[in-house]
A and B are shown apart, each in its own frame.
Chain A
């Protein structure tokens, strides 16, 4: 599953809801997960990232029938398996592109796992994590590099 990470520039006075509309250039990684970094309200020093899967990944998966997500508070290291998406094709591992602590999971996916297919960049987000090592964001692939990568593996 291809991974995509989206990073937004630290902006003043952003609320958590802005997570779905990142302002800055996208940084990505070839695992189908998207990460959007959004500053938390009040702390100013913790970067939050929203993880989801890319359009390429949701198409490859097929209809998602179940989302297995971690508990809030779970600590993740980069590349850790944090859950799975079950689709008609397979149970696919979800691996975290970033290290941090799970702060929120998308509860809507319990009743409506298809949101991951219908709206992978908006309502179909998976988890939010508070980054423990924001420098990891720099290691993620850029949007252009990601698209190039997808073309190379599809061909």
Chain B
């Protein structure tokens, strides 16, 4: 049953969670089911951060249900260049977010349900949560063949991944979140999660690709709404709490003081790209210039999302070494980002204002370099 979450209810519930009444702790079964009214990935991730940082979950677990408009979410220690097609994402307006939990890269759209199970560190148990999800699915459709795996995936019919898991453990609290594919755009998912970037060397955590399927394809009654309700019901039964889904607005500062700053931080370039573990790109590309093919070799070292080492090698007859060196040193320190390169190229042009031929060569190079970003 969906209940619009009034301010008064919110305060009561959240205050109760923060400061449990003495003496009641062991006698009153408590817990909370929340559902976000927002489909903004950054706002929803901020809710997770907020609950993790501010709620006292002793004896009071929380389930958070959320869905996002088309976004790609990478794990805390991943490399987005390795994991997804950033060019395609920019063209299609797909957001990129880095979450604080570990694990691999996922594509979210409104056909995917995200479930976050918040507990104390002691009560952290991913398998328990996943078994709860399986029970909920079977409550709706008893014939459904869904199993958990050792990797904490959920498999449909023994072969199709319908859910992936990631977690974060803090000092006293922990959360386990997982996806659930109901009616996601699978074709789009596949093309977005295929990185076109060559020659990357990195020790970032890598995703394990899997064949996926939507639950709706198996059974048309398994819509997102039906499944969210079923999971909430099962959660309420398990923890013996009221089966109420409380709708929350993740931008509400009275409910979640400080949450908008958390959402802002998640959107910064420094967090999304700057937190990428150190990596390098060693590749080459061909340039067609006046009917001849030229091979350009590139070695770029990137730390904190910024270019630390830049070695672009072009044939000397096409681009003199000193000019090439000028290009290389101008890139050092800049963000590994197409907009920065455009800006740098413009600055370079101004250093040799009349040399049209040089400008055109620099433009060719920079376009190619932007293509690997």
A-side interface residues toward B, CB under 8 Å? 1, 31, 65-66, 68, 79, 84, 86-93, 95, 110-111, 153
Contacts and interface: CB of A to CB of B under 8 A. Distances in A.
Interface string B95-136: 000001111000000000000000000101000000000000
Given A65-B205, A66-B204, A93 B171 contact: yes
Contacts of A65: 205
B174 A90 contact: yes
Contacts of B122: 153
Given A91-B100, A91-B102, A110-B278, A84 B171 contact: no
Given A66-B77, A90-B176, A91-B77, 17 more contacts: A66-B204, A68-B76, A84-B77, A86-B75, A86-B76, A89-B167, A90-B166, A90-B167, A90-B168, A90-B174, A91-B75, A91-B76, A91-B101, A91-B103, A91-B168, A93-B168, A153-B122
Contact of A86 (B102, B170, B278): B102
Contacts of A90: 101-102, 124, 166-169, 174, 176
Contacts of A66: 77, 102, 203-205, 277
Contacts of A93: 168-171
Q: Tell me the interface secondary structure of chain B in the complex.
A: loop
B210 to A, nearest CB: 16
Interface in B237-292: 277-278
B169 A86 contact: no
B169 A110 contact: no
Interface in B161-213: 166-171, 174, 176, 203-205
B76 A84 contact: yes
A35 to B, nearest CB: 16
A111 B203 contact: yes
For the complex of A and B, 9 pairs with smallest distance between CB atoms: A91-B102, A90-B167, A86-B102, A92-B169, A66-B77, A90-B169, A93-B170, A91-B76, A91-B168
A53 B122 CA distance: 18
Contacts of A87: 102
Q: Which of A87, A89, A91 has the most CB of B within 10 A?
A: A91
A110 B100 CA distance: 19
A109 B176 CA distance: 26
Nearest to A60: B169
Interface in B145-175: 151, 166-171, 174
Contacts of A79: 171
Contacts of B278: 110
Contacts of B167: 89-91
Contact of B77 (A1, A86, A95): A86
Contacts of B277: 66, 68, 110
A64 B176 CA distance: 18
Contacts of A91: 75-77, 100-103, 166-169
A92 B77 CA distance: 12
Contacts of A89: 167, 169
28 contacts: A31-B171, A66-B77, A66-B203, A66-B205, A79-B171, A84-B76, A84-B77, A86-B205, A87-B102, A88-B151, A89-B169, A90-B101, A90-B124, A90-B166, A90-B169, A90-B176, A91-B75, A91-B102, A91-B103, A91-B166, A91-B168, A91-B169, A92-B168, A92-B169, A93-B170, A95-B171, A110-B203, A153-B122
A115 B174 CA distance: 25
B102 to A, nearest CB: 4
A17 B76 CA distance: 32
A132 B254 CA distance: 37
Interface in B277-324: 277-278
A79 B204 CA distance: 26
Nearest to B76: A91
Contacts of B174: 90
Contacts of A86: 75-77, 102, 205
Contacts of B205: 65-66, 86
A1 B174 CA distance: 11
A111 to B, nearest CB: 6
B307 to A, nearest CB: 18
A86 B204 CA distance: 11
Contacts of A92: 168-169
A92 B171 CA distance: 9
B21 to A, nearest CB: 25
